[in-house]
A and B are shown apart, each in its own frame.
Chain A
Amino acid sequence: MSDQSNKIPQTEPRYSATFDTSTMSEIRRAAATGIYDIRGGGAKRKLPHFDDLLFLGASVSRYPLEGYREKCGTDVVLGTRFAKKPIHLKTPVTIAGMSFGALSGPAKESLGRGASAVGTSTTTGDGGMTPEERGHSTTLVYQYLPSRYGMNPDDLRKADAIEVVVGQGAKPGGGGMLLGQKITKRVAKMRCLPEGIDQRSSCRHPDWTGPDDLEIKIAELREITDWEKPIYVKVGATRPYFDVALAVKAGADVVVLDGMQGGTAATQEVFIEHVGIPILAAIRPAVQALQDMGMHRKVQLIVSGGIRNGADVAKALALGADAVAIGTAALVALGDNDPHLEEEYNKLGTTAGAYDDWHEGRDPAGITTQDPELMKRVDPVKAGRRLANYLAVMTMEAQVIARACGKSHLHNLEPEDLVALTVEASAMAKVPLAGTTWIPGVTKY
């Protein structure tokens, strides 16, 4: 017998599914540094999402609309409940709250330019409103946050709507972080903090604690702005039925519901990946709360967290939302994580598409940074145009689907237009598993 035939077969090296390479690298990093991993973005794990839903489209039993010829409306009016001056947007795709501080000035300007070009709104973030942002945003929503960094009544009056932020999908129950690298002189001055410190934002509002207090707080904001502005309440997706019901009871004009895929400028990885629920699981309970209170379409629902294309927009609206908000996708449209910067991402120990150390302020794309040289890389006119193009594409894609379903307005899409590809998505979205009439928890198989 040859040596070859005597060789004992070896088992291939096998990586653990539980202790995968990413998990082990995090254990080594934690052991070396003694501090939890902080990063930007939203949940990266695979989650039940809009991809698990399909539209049925029209056939013999349904009548489609002619593409590009027959009208399919896309506009949305937000704040019709109490505000004297509701907001009328041409597309239901809005830009989510992102702060100056987390983002560079040119990035904020780009968002304003892009959103304004297609008739939608942008939103401020922690740290207040900059003149550049107000100047370049036709419709600007002013976030009223627990930290109240940079909050002042003059800006409140300049806003087109006010968003009381209770939480966000990436970190429901947690406050923001902005590490020292990004607390530049201007950011520090706006937030009234020492330059270069690691800033912690509060997780609770300083002057109200529960839903009864929130009702008085909303009334205060209305009194200060003479009942003109729509008042939104933003919550991270956790217990959407109860949170939406309480926000409506407290007097909200609009509820913003952010799933765990929604991004953050910086927070603990463990928070992003393990607290909160996916947006797919949150929309139906939120809509149910509105319907039970007789407030569906009277109090508008904006959903966010992983919205990427017109199909996601159409699915969110079909499940009962009035509009969506995008954050991460808008940054990608501006140039975030672009492959043409691969060499620079490699120098930071990462790769284009995976860069999420936004808190470090070294973003090669010049978007999530306060570095004056890096931020010069963002041309607000060109980046704004890219965003406008992207928003227009999303809107047209949603129209394509709506027409195929025979709907003359995106808001006419309904759960009946949808089926699910997985049992999980079927149970969460409360639409039948494809090819069946089965909705787990609702109908019998």
Chain B
Amino acid sequence: METLTFDLDKKPLREINQFLHGDASTLNGKSIVIENPNGAHNIAVGLKADVEVTIKGHAGYYAAGMNQLAKVVVEGSVGSGVAENMMSGHVHVKGFASNAAGATANGGLLVIDGDAGLRCAIALKGADIVVGGSVGSFSAFMAQAGNLVILGDAGEGLGDSIYEARLFVRGKVKSLGADCEEKVMGPEERKILVDLLARSGHGDVDPDSFKLYGSARTLYHFHVDNAGAY
């Protein structure tokens, strides 16, 4: 695989991102390395080719935002909104992630080896997210579809106002949000979990050590008796 290296100390981010938005035929199958990211925001956003990008260090906000097809590896931690609104592809954070990791992501797989901050998977729309550590409060708020796997603990208000997303938690849940309840994990959900654990480097973890949470579907229609939850 051909490897190209960019140094963010020497080349402006705008030029690197524009290169990464180039014609798929010239990018597909290439490996790109970005050195000296030093927490810069918006690295490798809007990718749309089957390219592999390795960020050698910490990235700021929205790393790999709106990703399509590409595989992006961050060899460090990331700021808010990593892989926000991802459509497809694979984003792997080897460190920790700040708030709103994977916000509104529609597809693809986001793997965070460490912890994730507040509102991880907020308004998730179909993507898969695996967090090796714990997640902060209000994670999976209004999550519509997709799967969030948490190997550690979850903070307060997990899955508040959740729609049809599935939340697999191995550790403790401090509290559940409105309309989120524990579900029985059937064979279909167990299969999804086993697959996601295998694809995120956690194939040795026992799927039966997880609990499943999802929507109680009591807030799907406005009603006076639910006023306390609105």
Residues of A within 8 A of B68 (CB): 153-154
Q: Could you tell me which A residues sit within 8 Å of B by CB distance?
A: 33-35, 147-148, 151-154, 156, 179-180, 192-194, 197-198, 200, 202, 206-208, 213, 216-217, 219-220, 223-227
**Given A198-B220, A226-B21, are A220 and B65 neighbors across the interface (CB < 8 Å)?**
yes
From A30, which residue of chain B is reached at the shortest CB distance? B224
Interface residues on B, range: 35 or more
Per the bound structure, the CA–CA distance linking A226 and B41 in Å amounts to 15
Cβ–Cβ contact A193 & B61, under 8 A: no
How far does the Cβ of B229 sit from chain A's closest Cβ, in whole Å?
11
Contact flags B60-102 to A (C-beta < 8 A → 1, else 0) = 1110011010000000000011001101000000000001100
**Given A207-B103, A207-B122, A208-B81, are A197 and B66 neighbors across the interface (CB < 8 Å)?**
no
How far does the Cβ of B162 sit from chain A's closest Cβ, in whole Å?
12
Cβ–Cβ contact A220 & B21, under 8 A: no
Name 30 A/B residue pairs within 8 A (Cβ), A-sorted. Answer: A33-B224, A34-B224, A35-B222, A35-B224, A148-B123, A148-B125, A151-B104, A153-B46, A192-B125, A192-B126, A194-B163, A194-B164, A198-B221, A200-B142, A202-B123, A202-B142, A206-B84, A206-B103, A207-B62, A207-B99, A207-B100, A219-B41, A220-B41, A220-B45, A220-B61, A223-B13, A223-B17, A223-B45, A223-B46, A224-B45
Cβ–Cβ contact B85 & A151, under 8 A: yes
Cβ–Cβ contact A213 & B66, under 8 A: no
Residues of B within 8 A of A219 (CB): 41-42
How far does the Cβ of B140 sit from chain A's closest Cβ, in whole Å?
11
Contact flags B120-157 to A (C-beta < 8 A → 1, else 0) = 00110110000000000000011011000000000000
Excluding A192-B125, A206-B141, A207-B104, 16 further A-B contacts by CB distance (< 8 Å) are: A148-B125, A151-B85, A152-B85, A153-B46, A156-B66, A193-B144, A200-B142, A206-B103, A206-B122, A206-B123, A207-B62, A208-B81, A220-B62, A224-B17, A224-B66, A227-B14
The answer to the question of B48 belonging to the interface, with a C-beta cut-off of 8 Å to chain A, is yes
How far does the Cβ of B48 sit from chain A's closest Cβ, in whole Å?
7
Cβ–Cβ contact B61 & A148, under 8 A: no
The answer to the question of B223 belonging to the interface, with a C-beta cut-off of 8 Å to chain A, is yes
**Given A152-B85, A152-B87, A207-B122, are A217 and B62 neighbors across the interface (CB < 8 Å)?**
yes
How far does the Cβ of B230 sit from chain A's closest Cβ, in whole Å?
9
Q: Could you tell me which B residues sit within 8 Å of A by CB distance?
A: 13-14, 17-18, 21, 41-42, 45-46, 48, 60-62, 65-66, 68, 80-81, 84-85, 87, 99-100, 103-104, 106, 119, 122-123, 125-126, 141-142, 144-145, 161, 163-164, 220-225, 227
Residues of B within 8 A of A151 (CB): 85, 104
The listed residue with most B CB atoms (<10 A of its CB), out of A148, A179, A206, A213, is A206
Cβ–Cβ contact B42 & A223, under 8 A: yes
Per the bound structure, the CA–CA distance linking A207 and B13 in Å amounts to 21
Per the bound structure, the CA–CA distance linking A425 and B153 in Å amounts to 57
**Given A192-B125, A198-B221, are A216 and B66 neighbors across the interface (CB < 8 Å)?**
no
Cβ–Cβ contact B223 & A35, under 8 A: yes
Residues of B within 8 A of A202 (CB): 123, 142
Task: Give the 8 A-B CB pairs with smallest separation, nearest first.
Answer: A34-B224, A224-B46, A207-B81, A207-B100, A153-B66, A148-B104, A207-B103, A206-B103
Cβ–Cβ contact B61 & A216, under 8 A: yes
B220 touches which one: A194, A217, A220, A223 (CB < 8 A)?
Answer: A194
Residues of B within 8 A of A200 (CB): 142, 161
Residues of B within 8 A of A153 (CB): 46, 48, 66, 68, 85, 87
Per the bound structure, the CA–CA distance linking A208 and B145 in Å amounts to 21
**Given A148-B125, A217-B62, are A197 and B221 neighbors across the interface (CB < 8 Å)?**
yes
